[in-house]
Amino acid sequence: MLKSLKYSFCTINVYSNYVISRINEGFHLTPDKNRILEDIANDYFNDKPFVYISHRVHSYSVDPSIYLQTSKVENLAGMSVVAEAPLSKRNAEVEKLFLNKPFEIFTDIDDAITWAKTLVANE
């Protein structure tokens, strides 16, 4: 891990070609929080492709319109959601419709990391 970033609503761990976020319990993720992803893309990846992994350990909600902005992050190669709860998986299926980049859903974090590394290697 290169860096662990802590915000009032989440923790984001930055690795060489992907990030893993863990959003806090009960938070409602809105498009205004997308600036953090844009800053991470610029500060840590500087036009190098990376993957965003959302590790859904806690229950929280996401405004799907956030993905319209997320799709504009040029060096974002793709996104995945890691979730075990059926509701989180169903929500991710809906969110997937809003992102114009590869988007996968996993139940195991290691599978998501493997997918991220493969996706970036193929960029």
Domains detected in the chain: 3-121 (3.30.750.24)
Contact between 84 and 92 (Cβ < 8 Å): no
Count of other CB atoms within 10 angstroms of residue 113: 19
Q: pTM (2 decimals)? A: 0.94
Task: Return the number of other C-beta atoms located less than 10 Å from residue 52's C-beta.
Answer: 24
pLDDT tens digits, 7-17? 999 999 999 99
- Cα 91 from chain centre: 14
Tell me the pLDDT tens digit for each residue of 65-107: 899 999 999 999 999 999 999 999 999 999 999 999 999 999 9
Helix segments in 6-65, DSSP class H = 34-40
